[in-house]
């Protein structure tokens, strides 16, 4: 790799506001990779729950489509999930930076 080349993540980092807009536009799935106790405390209503450990052990089984917004508490585990999805050939991957904490901070609703 040339010194001037920049490493690019295989996913796009998005804000809570951008995530909300993309969710409202449709065509993407939202995958929450947090543990069950975290999920039960509140999650984006459109999201499906696939804990990161499950996703990492069976990615081809649990990720059937392209166009995924990954969510966790802060955006770290969801970035790992984006990498796993990219490794199995998925595209149109988004990481919600700041995770559910940022989502709630913006005043967006969660389901319990």
pTM for the model: 0.92
Q: Domains for the chain: give ranges and CATH numbers.
A: 12-105 (3.40.250.10)
User: What are the structure tokens assigned to 39, written together?
Assistant: 């999920």
Question: Could you give the CA distance from residue 64 to residue 68 in angstroms, rounded to a whole number?
Answer: 10
How high is the mean pLDDT of the chain? 94
pLDDT tens-place string over residues 24-41? 999 999 999 999 999 999
pLDDT tens-place string over residues 83-110? 999 999 999 999 999 999 999 999 999 9
Question: Could you give the CA distance from residue 47 to residue 111 in angstroms, rounded to a whole number?
Answer: 10
- Which residues, 6 or more positions from 2, have their beta carbon under 8 angstroms from its beta carbon? none
Question: Could you give the CA distance from residue 84 to residue 57 in angstroms, rounded to a whole number?
Answer: 10
């Amino acid at each position: 790799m040339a010194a001037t080349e920049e490493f690019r993540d295989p996913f796009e980092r998005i804000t809570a506001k951008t995530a909300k807009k993309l969710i409202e536009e449709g065509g993407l799935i939202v995958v929450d990779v947090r543990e069950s106790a975290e999920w039960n405390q509140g999650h984006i209503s459109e999201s499906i729950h696939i804990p990161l450990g499950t996703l990492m052990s069976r990615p081809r089984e649990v990720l059937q489509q392209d166009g995924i917004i990954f969510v966790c508490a802060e955006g770290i585990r969801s970035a790992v999930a984006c990498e796993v999805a990219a490794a199995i050939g998925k595209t149109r991957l988004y990481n919600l930076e700041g995770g559910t904490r940022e989502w709630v901070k913006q005043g967006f609703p969660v389901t319990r």
